[in-house]
Amino acid sequence: MRDDYLAAALKIVDDPNILVNVVSRRVKQLKRGNRPLVESLEKLLPEDTALREIIEGKISYELATPEELAMRR
């Protein structure tokens, strides 16, 4: 994973735990065959592609509200 991408993504998703979850979910999608939302002239690892997508605003996340979490129980 590229350190510069990681640092830039942490400026957008400031909680490292949330960033790990967002990247992990996107990497699974990319490995299943989903197409990247960013173009690159170099061959990027799926992790780096996910970070670039976050940096460029192509993917985002949404936290569940306490009400939504209560409904899941």
Burial state string for 31-66 with b = 16 or more CB within 10 A and e = fewer than 16: eeeeebebeeeeebebbbbbbbbbbeeebeeeeeee
- Which residue type, as a one-letter code, is found at position 31? K
- Which residue type, as a one-letter code, is found at position 54? I
Question: Tens digit of pLDDT per residue, the chain (73 long)?
Answer: 899 999 999 999 999 999 999 999 999 999 999 999 999 999 999 999 999 999 999 999 999 899 998 988 7
Domain that holds residue 60: 3-71
Convert the pLDDT of each residue in 7-27 to its tens digit.
Answer: 999 999 999 999 999 999 999
Q: Provide the pLDDT for residue 72.
A: 82
**CATH number, residue 60:** 3.90.940
Q: Provide the domain count of the chain.
A: 1
